[in-house]
Structure 1
Amino acid sequence: MIDQSVTDFIQIGYQNQEIHPLDVLLTQNQLLALIGKQALASGIKASTPLPNRLETMDSLVDYAVQEKVIGNNEAERDILSAKIMNLITPLPSEINRTFWELYQESPIAATTYFYHLSQENNYIKTRAIEKNIKFIKSTVFGDLEITINLSKPEKDPKQIALAKTAPASFGYPTCLLCMENEGYEGHLNHPARSNHRIIRLPLTNENWGLQYSPYAYYEEHCIFLSQEHKPMKLEKATFTKLLSIVEQFPHYFVGSNADLPIVGGSILSHDHYQGGRHTFAMAEAPIDFPFALTDYPSVEAGLVKWPMSVIRLRSSNQTELVEAATLILDQWRFYSDESVAIFAETNGELHNTITPIARYKKDQYELDLVLRNNRTTQQYPDGIFHPHQDVQHIKKENIGLIEVMGLAILPPRLKKELSEVEHYLLDEPHQLDISHQKWADELKRTKKITKETVGEIIEDAVGSVFLRVLEDAGVYKQTTEGKAAFKRFINSFAHSKGGEKIGHFS
């Protein structure tokens, strides 16, 4: 059977034109070496029809485990899987050459090629991503997307024990986003990257890269990363880079996580952005209050109807758009309004920042600036503008770029926990987590629950919690007081260079 799997794997690569006829024997012998096999039986013909490539890869890895070439744990299996798929993955030079040749045809042709390649070589974990639970919550702000993220495998106890005895880091690659990850074998404390490739691209006189996310949360979920390992910093140059990216790839949105803890992303040590080919609810949200900036006549501005606090700027003039966004960022950094608990600084620590998102729509560039504040108090130790305690049974992690736009990434624990909530609501034997007790009792009291409706009721309730999470993270609430305070902030910067007030609401 293993001889058949080797033969089929090579034939699939040959048929897909990933292995040149002259390279068949070389690739075959490299594959045999990887799985610890010394010889291949003669006369084996490829299966008809050819099997699924990933299933064939699984059988090759299983053989290596059986022969004790690798240990039977997730990390070592992933490392070998990536090495096997690297055999059919072109070198970075070849991928980059093809990408930029296709780019001359169209940016879509180039990204489609690279996205398909990243799926075919199993860098994008398509099978794992399919496990995610997804549903929609309709709200007055649009359709929020709810996902329970099951794609990233949890480490088993054996792997955890092995990882504790292995070096935590060799200092190379410096971090998970550094370009040194391209082709890196990986180890128990670092993911396998043998089949990883990066497109090199110029970005405002800097060297950057484009790659796809292994555990994509949406269509063509990609990452733009600096070649230099430097911390994320939100500044004027950020807006310039974001607009430059959507100029090069107008079919993609791109955004940056905020640059402060609590309201920022999980990796603040390496400058990077996230993008992709997906339309989020926030992008469809209308302008609630237009206002004018006469120093930037080409820029349309307004407050977005969204549970978080969003200023939208639109223009065909990139220079004016960057200047207007920088004006708002600079003003927000040091803006306080005690009446709505916004303090720009406490004890020398700055709290205000922005989550920016760029798009190209209807022949204009668009920047959404989401105002963020990471201040904590004794009452809200996790953050004033962070999911509050009463919703943390569903979501207690940071609210980053993707969730800001209306896609919830909920923890895998919820699959089992919500199943127990369902049993509880149906008065069946259950192991209800105490954190869900109050919420479940409220559902029992207010909803008509049957075997047929319970699943839909729970999904709808989870979606309502995510809406609350976004409202908690919004610095200006959707109340009369909150909207008035938001307008006060607008008027704080809406002045011309001569000093007269220029901001006005339509």
Structure 2
Amino acid sequence: MIDINKEITRLVNFSIGKGLIDERDRIYGINKLLEVLSLDDYTAPFCTMDEDVCVDDILENIRCWAVENNRVSDSIDELDLFDTKIMAQLTKMPSVIEDEFKQLYNESPAKATDYFYALAKNTNYIREKRIAKDIKWKYESPYGILDITINLSKPEKDPRTIAKAKNIRKSHYPECLLCKENEGYAGRINHPARGNHRIIELELAGEQWFLQYSPYVYYNEHCIVLKGEHEPMIITKNTFRRLLEFVKMFPHYFIGSNADLPIVGGSILTHDHYQGGRYTFSMAKAREENHVHLEKYDIIACTLYWPMSVIRLKGNNIDNLVEASYEIFTKWKGYNDETVSIISETNGNRHNTITPICRFKDDFFEMDLVLRNNRTTVERPLGIFHPRPKYHHIKKENIGLIEVLGLAVLPSRLKHEMNLLCEYLLNGDIDGIRKHDDLRKHGDWAANILENYLLTEDNIKDVLHKEIGSVFLGVIEDAGVFKNTDEGKNAFTRCREVLFEDMGD
């Protein structure tokens, strides 16, 4: 039987030990937890501070107690609302956290982000135990090491929740998942709880922006930088200035923007935002080629040996990098080369855009401009520069910023499907794969694996990981507008001549 008084005390001890509240707030914190748990009595047990305890372990005990005592149902969605409400009682006010962040920033930007990231984990806003379930491995490609992730940290909706959501009155508050109004929001069945969520106000290009962390953490210190106003994503000259100012502010982080058009953009185009973090992707380490000096702006430009088509600009002057980036972007928006299927506009719809990524490296600002095009045809309705149908059994979704950098975020269904495939492949049962509802989409791919490998129980998972990595490489090669073929390289050379025209070298 769970001793709820002990768990309340453990959680308050944890919160004080991690600096979520102060010792002076102990009684207040206990009383706020009693309120959430609908308890009117409490006896303090003897319970020492445990520095190694995980907040989710304590919360799991409280969740179990609450279900057993009919405080909440066992639906994952309702439990998430419930335990977030618990942690909201033990999380400092936004203004206090922001003041502490600024004080640490005066010592060092890294100290400030270390504090804020630890806070997101200790309040269980970042659910570390859930994220630890993600399946991750590396794939060695000709371009460098690619990161592969099967995302298991986002729980599937409970059917009971889906049924309840149909009867809930529609609300437009907060307007979307990225709005600043999410800070401290209790949540509802069809909107995640954010009572323990905190954001840090920033000024970028004279505008109000905010820094937060992603609750799903696809890579180390995966942060989101969101605009204060709910405005759609659009790449303008100010985009480049904001990215560069952010990196100047936090030189240990990279930052990038999804493209601003459907198909080649991210999953949320309705709210302008960027993603960054403290992680070095393979694209950042890719081999540089074709260096030129752009005398007009006194910066170096080059391309990268990478599956996608990237122009890298390097310099010390932010104003010059902003102007050069915008000039290249403006020229690219109108660029056409039908020999490689690049058409900038059809029927009044623009197709050319970029995925910009910024970092500070070796005493230089780097601005990577990844050239994108979202044109579709009857034969390729999902996009000419989108993964071909042969890859859709692994990855069909948009190829956004994270994939561009070299990290595959693959759907959770693959865990189940790969486990089944192991069984069928070890038995050599291709017919069974082709008849299975969940596996038939993998049929041709599985047959090729069986033909090219001698599979054993010891090597089959490594083989599947390697072949999934190979598919992801094909996915991002498909998304590149200039392929790494003689024809593609010649076309990219012609393009650069146009984009760099009048900049001097």
Report deviation, 1:98: 0.5
Report deviation, 1:62: 2.4
Rounded to whole Å, the distance in 2 between the matches of 1:449 and 1:121 is 45
2:180 corresponds in structure 1 to 179
Give unmatched runs, 5+ long, in structure 2.
none
Report deviation, 1:22: 3.1
2:379 corresponds in structure 1 to 379
Q: How does 1:74-93 map to 2 (within 5 A)?
A: 74-93=76-95
Rounded to whole Å, the distance in 2 between the matches of 1:434 and 1:321 is 50
Deviations 1:378-427 (A, max 9, x none): 11111110111000000000001011000000000000111122112201
Report deviation, 1:166: 1.8
2:328 corresponds in structure 1 to 328
8 Å CA contact 1:312–1:368 kept in 2: the answer is yes
**1:337 is aligned to 2:337:** yes
The one-letter amino acid of 1:274's match is Q
**1:442 is aligned to 2:442:** no
2:231 corresponds in structure 1 to 230
The one-letter amino acid of 1:119's match is K
SS in 2 for 1:97: helix
8 Å CA contact 2:20–2:123 kept in 1: the answer is no
1:215 corresponds in structure 2 to 216
1:453 corresponds in structure 2 to 459
Rounded to whole Å, the distance in 2 between the matches of 1:45 and 1:219 is 37
Q: 1:443 to 1:38 in 2, by over 3 A?
A: same
The one-letter amino acid of 1:417's match is E
8 Å CA contact 1:119–1:125 kept in 2: the answer is yes
Report deviation, 1:64: 2.4
Q: 1:257 to 1:43 in 2, by over 3 A?
A: closer
Deviations 1:51-90 (A, max 9, x none): 5432111222222223323232122211111111122211
Q: How does 1:57-96 map to 2 (within 5 A)?
A: 57-96=59-98
1:274 corresponds in structure 2 to 275
2:399 corresponds in structure 1 to 399
TM (norm. structure 1) is: 0.95
8 Å CA contact 1:119–1:126 kept in 2: the answer is yes
The one-letter amino acid of 1:403's match is E
- Which runs of at least 4 in structure 1 moved beyond 4 Å after TM superposition? 47-51, 428-432
2:165 corresponds in structure 1 to 163
8 Å CA contact 1:35–1:64 kept in 2: the answer is yes
Rounded to whole Å, the distance in 2 between the matches of 1:77 and 1:423 is 35
Report deviation, 1:428: 6.8
2:480 corresponds in structure 1 to 474
More deviation, 340-349/74-83: 74-83
Rounded to whole Å, the distance in 2 between the matches of 1:13 and 1:228 is 32
**1:484 is aligned to 2:490:** yes
8 Å CA contact 1:35–1:61 kept in 2: the answer is no
Rounded to whole Å, the distance in 2 between the matches of 1:43 and 1:240 is 54
Q: How does 1:403-422 map to 2 (within 5 A)?
A: 403-422=403-422
SS in 2 for 1:292: strand
Rounded to whole Å, the distance in 2 between the matches of 1:270 and 1:451 is 47
SS in 1 for 2:266: coil
Report deviation, 1:450: 1.7
SS in 2 for 1:435: helix
The one-letter amino acid of 1:375's match is R
| Aligned equivalent of 2:24, options 22, 25, 41 | 22
The one-letter amino acid of 1:73's match is S
Q: How does 1:138-149 map to 2 (within 5 A)?
A: 138-149=140-151
Rounded to whole Å, the distance in 1 between the matches of 2:44 and 2:292 is 76
Rounded to whole Å, the distance in 1 between the matches of 2:264 and 2:142 is 24
Rounded to whole Å, the distance in 2 between the matches of 1:96 and 1:388 is 46
Rounded to whole Å, the distance in 1 between the matches of 2:17 and 2:296 is 60
Rounded to whole Å, the distance in 1 between the matches of 2:421 and 2:44 is 57
SS in 2 for 1:165: coil
Q: 1:329 to 1:16 in 2, by over 3 A?
A: closer
2:118 corresponds in structure 1 to 116
CA-based RMSD: 1.5
1:427 corresponds in structure 2 to 427
8 Å CA contact 1:70–1:77 kept in 2: the answer is yes
Rounded to whole Å, the distance in 2 between the matches of 1:19 and 1:458 is 47
User: Percent same amino acid among aligned pairs?
Assistant: 48
SS in 1 for 2:166: helix
Report deviation, 1:305: 0.4
The one-letter amino acid of 2:464's match is I
Report deviation, 1:47: 5.3
Rounded to whole Å, the distance in 2 between the matches of 1:195 and 1:176 is 15
Deviations 1:331-374 (A, max 9, x none): 11011111001110111111010000000001110001000011
2:502 corresponds in structure 1 to 496
Rounded to whole Å, the distance in 2 between the matches of 1:427 and 1:158 is 38
Deviations 1:206-225 (A, max 9, x none): 11100000000000000111
8 Å CA contact 1:36–1:67 kept in 2: the answer is no
The one-letter amino acid of 2:476's match is L
Report deviation, 1:276: 0.2
The one-letter amino acid of 1:492's match is V
Report deviation, 1:19: 3.3
Rounded to whole Å, the distance in 1 between the matches of 2:365 and 2:100 is 28
Give unmatched runs, 5+ long, in structure 1.
none
Rounded to whole Å, the distance in 1 between the matches of 2:250 and 2:39 is 45
8 Å CA contact 1:134–1:145 kept in 2: the answer is yes
Rounded to whole Å, the distance in 2 between the matches of 1:266 and 1:207 is 23
| Aligned equivalent of 1:126, options 116, 128, 131 | 128
Rounded to whole Å, the distance in 2 between the matches of 1:413 and 1:246 is 36
Rounded to whole Å, the distance in 2 between the matches of 1:134 and 1:43 is 43
8 Å CA contact 2:9–2:44 kept in 1: the answer is no
8 Å CA contact 1:35–1:60 kept in 2: the answer is no
SS in 2 for 1:5: helix
8 Å CA contact 1:211–1:223 kept in 2: the answer is yes
Q: How does 1:290-305 map to 2 (within 5 A)?
A: 290-296=291-297, 298-305=298-305
SS in 2 for 1:8: helix
Rounded to whole Å, the distance in 2 between the matches of 1:24 and 1:114 is 22
**1:136 is aligned to 2:138:** yes
Rounded to whole Å, the distance in 1 between the matches of 2:447 and 2:411 is 22
The one-letter amino acid of 1:459's match is H
8 Å CA contact 1:252–1:275 kept in 2: the answer is yes
1:36 corresponds in structure 2 to 38
Rounded to whole Å, the distance in 1 between the matches of 2:146 and 2:126 is 24
The one-letter amino acid of 1:327's match is E
**1:250 is aligned to 2:213:** no
8 Å CA contact 2:10–2:49 kept in 1: the answer is no
